[in-house]
């Protein structure tokens, strides 16, 4: 004859049998024989202390099973959906980025912008006037007014003889190249007229 016992009760049965120095099967056999003898004699068998422990264990197991069931039901309930972040509208076009339409020049950028020589010449003339010096273009005009159209070398010699002009930040004597450079400057070019190698005043 085979007896099937709940695994939870089997653990307690093993503990009780071990406490009495018996195997679980021997303890079950003793309990069955005691029960049968009591039924034959018509007497009531007092429930041992172990039966009370078994009842308490069953109550604890039932309480634990109820708690597990409550947790499982709470986990199975659907959760409130998390609001999704607003996605950008596919029909809305992004704001256009202003593009630089100006053509780019290759290579290193020029050190000075357009009109830089003219600005520098005007600033030089203004600085000379504020310092009390005679600007070079005025000396050239004065020499041409006295001698008429002349070459750049002749004008440079005449200005040196007059002694009224001194080159700023330079100790070299005035030469023809400097006179030609001033006459060709865009700021003063309209005041002079060239005829071959000679420089005259514009009408």
- Cβ-contact 140, 155 below 8 angstroms: yes
Name the band, by pLDDT with cuts 50, 70 and 90, for residue 194.
very high
Question: Hey, what's the torsion of the CAs at 62, 63, 68, 73, to 10 degrees?
Answer: 100
Residue 157: the pLDDT is 93
User: Could you tell me which CATH class the domain 118-201 is placed in?
Assistant: mainly alpha
Name the band, by pLDDT with cuts 50, 70 and 90, for residue 29.
confident
Helices (H), 42-107: 49-76
Q: How far is the C-alpha of 166 from the C-alpha of 171, rounded, in Å?
A: 8
Could you give the count of Cα atoms lying within 13 Å of 195 in the half-sphere of its Cβ? 6
Residue 100: the pLDDT is 53
Q: How far is the C-alpha of 49 from the C-alpha of 44, rounded, in Å?
A: 15
Helix (H, G, I), strand (E, B) or coil at 20: coil
Residue 47: the pLDDT is 57
Name the band, by pLDDT with cuts 50, 70 and 90, for residue 119.
low
By C-alpha distance, which of 133, 159, 174, 125 is closest to 150?
159
pLDDT tens digits for 74-105?
A: 888 777 666 666 555 555 555 555 555 556 66
Identify the helix (H) or strand (E) that includes residue 28.
helix 24-41
Residue 192: the pLDDT is 93
Residue 105: the pLDDT is 64
pLDDT tens digits for 137-162?
A: 899 999 999 989 999 999 999 998 98
Residue 143: the pLDDT is 94
Residue ranges covered by each domain of the chain = 7-69, 118-201
């Amino acid at each position: 004859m085979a007896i099937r016992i709940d695994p939870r009760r089997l653990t307690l049965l093993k503990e009780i049998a071990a406490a009495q120095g018996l195997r679980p099967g021997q303890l079950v056999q003793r309990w069955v024989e005691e029960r049968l003898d009591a039924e034959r004699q018509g007497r009531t068998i007092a429930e041992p202390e172990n039966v009370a422990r078994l009842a308490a264990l069953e109550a604890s197991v039932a309480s634990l099973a109820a708690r597990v069931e409550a947790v499982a039901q709470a986990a199975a309930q659907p959760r409130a959906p998390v609001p999704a972040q607003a996605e950008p509208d596919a029909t809305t076009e992004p704001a256009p980025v202003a593009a630089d339409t100006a053509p780019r020049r290759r290579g290193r950028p020029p050190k000075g912008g357009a009109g830089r020589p003219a600005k520098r010449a005007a600033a030089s003339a203004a600085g000379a006037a504020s310092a009390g010096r005679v600007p070079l273009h005025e000396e050239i005009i004065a020499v041409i007014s006295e001698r008429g159209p002349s070459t750049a070398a002749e004008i440079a010699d005449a200005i040196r003889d007059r002694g009224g002009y001194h080159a700023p930040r330079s100790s070299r004597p005035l030469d023809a190249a400097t006179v030609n450079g001033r006459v060709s400057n865009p700021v003063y070019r309209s005041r002079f007229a060239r005829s071959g190698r000679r420089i005259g005043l514009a009408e």
